[in-house]
Amino acid sequence: MDRKAEKILNRIVQNGYRRTNARQAIVTALVNSAGHITADDLADNVREKEPHIGRMTVYRTLELLCELGVVRPIFQGTGAAHYILMDNGGHHHLICNRCHNVMEFEECSAAMVMEKVAKQFNFHISSHLLELHGLCEECNEISSHQ
């Protein structure tokens, strides 16, 4: 099994929940989705391989994973929420205002800001989502030629 999926399943167990075959299949499908998927698409992917797993089980497992801080829902424009993986503690997006392209980036220099805010509010941060909004390279070029 994928190391990332294994880590998430360990987290489920550490929090006192059972590692069921269904949860294993759902977490694997989630990791294979590269961490961006709607609940319905996830249910479809899981049920393609394991048709006996009900849609409700998939939704409930997503809820559990939200509670454990493994995923969180985000809304991009209209449509259903996407569930994104937060298992590394952070998730970072560049979002274009014009073409709505979402780009991922890994390197994060928000640590100092987070430390300061955490201290100020006596808040324990478990994960963060950083979204930077603006124009992508292509759209920026178009608007500078107009």
Kindly list the residues in this chain that would bind Zn ion in the complex (CB under 5 A). Answer: 84, 90, 96, 98-99, 101, 104, 108, 110, 136, 139
Which residue is associated with the tokens 């100020």? 120
Strand-pairing partners, residue 133, are 95
Find the shortest distance in angstroms from Cβ 135 to Zn ion: 6
Residue 47 or residue 128: which is nearer to Zn ion going by CB? 128
Nearer to Zn ion (CB atom), residue 47 or residue 90: 90
**Residue-wise burial string across 20-51, b where 16 or more C-beta atoms lie within 10 A, e elsewhere:** eebbbbbbbbbbebebbbbbeebbebbbeebe
CB of 9 to Zn ion, least distance (A): 21
d(CA 59, CA 138): 37
Which residue, 53 or 71, has its beta carbon nearer to Zn ion? 71
CB of 89 to Zn ion, least distance (A): 7
Residue nearest to Zn ion as judged by C-beta position: 108
